[in-house]
Amino acid sequence: MSILLNRIKRKLSLKLSLGILLFLVVVFTLSIGTLFLYSRQLVKQQAMERANLELENCTERVNELMNEVEVATRTAVWHLGDDIRPDSLLNYIRLVVGQNPNFDGCSVAMAPNFFPDRGRYFSVYAYNPENADTVVAKIEKPYNYFDKPWYRTAATLGKPCWVEAYAEDLQGVESTDFNDMIVSYCVPMYDRHKRLMSVISTDLAIDWLSEVISSYKPYPKSYVMLLGANGQYIVHPDTTKLKSRTIFSDADPTNQQDLISLGHQMIAGKKGMLNVKVNGEPCVVLYQSLTKAPWSMALICYESDIFVSYNKLLYILIPVLTFGLLLILVFCLNVVSMMVQPLNDLTRQISYITDGHFHEAISFSRRKDVIGRLQNNFAEMQQALSSHILDLKQTNLEAERMNQDLAEANEQARKADEKKNEFLQDITHQIRTPLNIINGFTQVLRDDYESIPQEELGNITETMQTNAILISRMVGMLIVASNAGKDVKVDTHERVCIKELIQQVADIYASRPPHTIDLTTDVQVDDKRTVKTNRDYLTKALNELLFNAKKFTTEGHVKLSVKTDGLKVMFFVEDTGPGISESVRKNLFDTFEKGDIFTEGLGLGLPVCRQLVRLIGGELKLDATYTNGSRFVIVIPDEEAWVDLHDDLR
């Protein structure tokens, strides 16, 4: 007994040692992780302080450059005073550009008709040409500069302002070449009576401004960009972005919401810091607005630059930590393997179940400890599993059959839904077209009836009649089709004279346009021969078959024949049209089925005919032996004809 207790104590101590070891690993990992996180925050904080100082210096430098432009422009305004003449304007702007080689140019645009002898437009412009030592100053050719941003904004505000615009918006057609984006300082000039005389505009060289801004780089990959009031790029190291106009059009609204948020913060004139992704890399952006203009600058710092030293430290510490954890893992594996050795036998036995051998029995254990009881429980579980596995297989087979039936039902429902949608679209088109024709001709008859020739009036009337018949026919088919599957009671006790019925159908055929193919009739029954049926339903079925025959027959004949076969009356409708292909015949009488999707019709003609014939106790079928076109046969049983014949003989 004491030996057993010692073994249990040794096992408990081993388990306790393993638990303590794992706890120490967790604590060690959490401590190192916390230290690394704190170090990372500290590195980022110091980097942001450095970057913020760099952005402050850059912003101050840009404000100084803009101040130089403002001073030079105001000096020119002061020198001009009231002595405004074309020659003095040229001299002053030449002086401004000559003393400031970093300016793109300077222009003075006069108010409308300021110099009456010069016309409505008069403007002068001076600039430094490339690869030249002299300043070019000239009077520009007349152009409408009143709608240009630099003139309109200054004149509207009535005070000096900075304007950013594209080159084509700043000067006339005759101006020199410019970069795509130009920033200008615009000052309105007024006379003693506070009337606008002109607007003087000085353009700041974007290349010069970009060179100054790009010199502020706290890190190798970092850069500064300058945005306008509406988010357009004024300065950016990637010149292709200057073509995309704004930061909002350059950003993908789906994947770059952070960049769009940055743009809104900047154009709102706010100052702060934001984490964004630029070209897929995480960056920290510091931004603040300028004091001279409603523009904003942003310093983009890649985290890969900020944490370069931090990452080098990680490259050293991670291998060391990994090696230490591996040593701990090896130690734990050795300890655990000693503890779980008794479970190996049970694992091998349970693997049979994992491999699908559900009938392989697991041996029972004689051990009384936890492992022994666990093995015995698994043995009992295997026996229960083996007994239930057959039931499960049978259930799966039944479920597969049910799923297959459900899939077939879903497929049929899908096809029915597709047919429904196609039918709705088709009927909308089929009804709308004749209605539009009737409506159009109705307006013509109403407005110009007296001026329409008699022959054309007949054509219009015939066309309206044709389309009215089409609508009536479609409505009739829809009514009959809507009763499909319902228990419809039809009176079939009427004795109908066959010859009169054929004559009625022929008259309807002749009255319906088009009148291209005449109807040929062949009545091979006695003149007084009758059939017991429903006149209306039989007439509708024959008319529908004849309508289809006339629609598809362009030459040849359409023929209606009647003959008897014993106690049956057979009606034949044949034509010399294109006929019906083998592939179409199998679905010929299905609802909404058409031989050609481009053919007019609802796909209800033949199904409705068959439904009408079946309601009166007959049958409609296609004569497959006829090869010159199409031939349909309506068979009407007349069982009382024999009784009537005997009555006549008596």
Coarse DSSP helix, strand, coil percentages of the chain, rounded to the nearest 5 percent: 55, 20, 30
- Round the CA-based radius of gyration of the chain to a whole number and report it: 48
Q: Band the pLDDT of 248: cuts 50, 70, 90.
A: confident
Task: List the one residue out of 545, 532, 539 whose CA is nearest residue 637.
Answer: 532
Element (DSSP H or E) covering residue 409: helix 370-448
> Which two tokens mark 297?
């600058």
CB 298 within 8 A of CB 272: no
CB 181 within 8 A of CB 166: yes
SS3 state at 63: helix
pLDDT for residue 481 = 56
Q: Band the pLDDT of 4: cuts 50, 70, 90.
A: very low
Q: Answer whether residue 633 shows pLDDT above 70.
A: yes
Give me the sheet containing 558-565, strands edge to edge.
Answer: 519-523, 558-565, 568-575, 630-637, 619-622
For the entire predicted model, the pTM comes to 0.47
Rounded-to-integer distance, Cα 475 and Cα 488, Å:
18
Q: Band the pLDDT of 288: cuts 50, 70, 90.
A: very high
Cα-based distances in Å from 71 to 47, 89, 376, 473, 592: 36, 18, 97, 88, 83
3-state secondary structure 298-363: EEEEEHHHHCHHHHHHHHHHHHHHHHHHHHHHHHHHHHHHHHHCCHHHHHHHHHHHHCCCCCCCCC
Rounded-to-integer distance, Cα 615 and Cα 533, Å:
10
Q: Band the pLDDT of 562: cuts 50, 70, 90.
A: very high
pLDDT for residue 640 = 58
Burial 279-303 (b: 16+ CB within 10 A, else e): eeeebbbbbbbbebbebbbbbbbbb
In terms of DSSP bridges, do strands 619-622 and 558-565 run parallel, antiparallel, or are they unpaired? unpaired
Rounded-to-integer distance, Cα 409 and Cα 81, Å:
92
pLDDT for residue 642 = 45
pLDDT for residue 3 = 53
Q: Does residue 527 or residue 373 have the better pLDDT?
A: 527
Q: Answer whether residue 598 shows pLDDT above 50.
A: no
- 87-114: per-residue pLDDT in tens? 888 888 888 888 888 788 889 999 999 8
- 114-170: per-residue pLDDT in tens? 888 888 999 999 988 876 678 888 988 998 999 888 899 999 999 999 988 766 655
In terms of DSSP bridges, do strands 181-190 and 123-127 run parallel, antiparallel, or are they unpaired? unpaired
Which residues make beta-bridge pairs with 560? 521, 573
> Which two tokens mark 261?
């948020």
Q: Band the pLDDT of 173: cuts 50, 70, 90.
A: very low
Q: Does residue 506 or residue 427 have the better pLDDT?
A: 506
Rounded-to-integer distance, Cα 32 and Cα 20, Å:
18
In terms of DSSP bridges, do strands 494-497 and 103-110 run parallel, antiparallel, or are they unpaired? unpaired
Which residues make beta-bridge pairs with 288? 297
Q: Band the pLDDT of 649: cuts 50, 70, 90.
A: very low
- 298-346: per-residue pLDDT in tens? 999 988 888 877 777 777 777 877 777 677 666 766 665 655 555 666 6
Q: Band the pLDDT of 540: cuts 50, 70, 90.
A: confident
The residues, any chain, with a CB within 8 Å of residue 165's CB and separated by 6 or more, are: 148, 149, 150, 181, 182, 184
Strands (E), 386-513: 494-497
pLDDT for residue 260 = 87
Cα-based distances in Å from 404 to 69, 177, 222, 407, 416: 81, 74, 62, 5, 18
Cα-based distances in Å from 1 to 4, 7, 11, 365: 5, 10, 16, 21
Cα-based distances in Å from 312 to 43, 109, 217, 305: 13, 60, 22, 12
The amino acid at residue 32 is I
- 175-232: per-residue pLDDT in tens? 444 445 678 899 999 888 888 999 999 988 777 888 888 888 888 889 898 888 888 8
Neighbours of 134 (CB within 10 A): 9
Element (DSSP H or E) covering residue 503: helix 498-511
pLDDT for residue 335 = 60
Burial class (CB in 10 A: 0-12, 13-18, 19+), 149: middle
Rounded-to-integer distance, Cα 518 and Cα 558, Å:
7
Phi–psi pair at 431, nearest 5 degrees: -85, -40
Q: Band the pLDDT of 595: cuts 50, 70, 90.
A: low
Q: Does residue 237 or residue 439 have the better pLDDT?
A: 237
Q: Answer whether residue 171 shows pLDDT above 70.
A: no
Q: Answer whether residue 470 shows pLDDT above 50.
A: yes
- 383-422: per-residue pLDDT in tens? 777 777 777 778 888 888 888 888 887 887 777 666 666 6
**Mean pLDDT for the chain?**
78
| % of the chain residues with pLDDT over 70 | 71
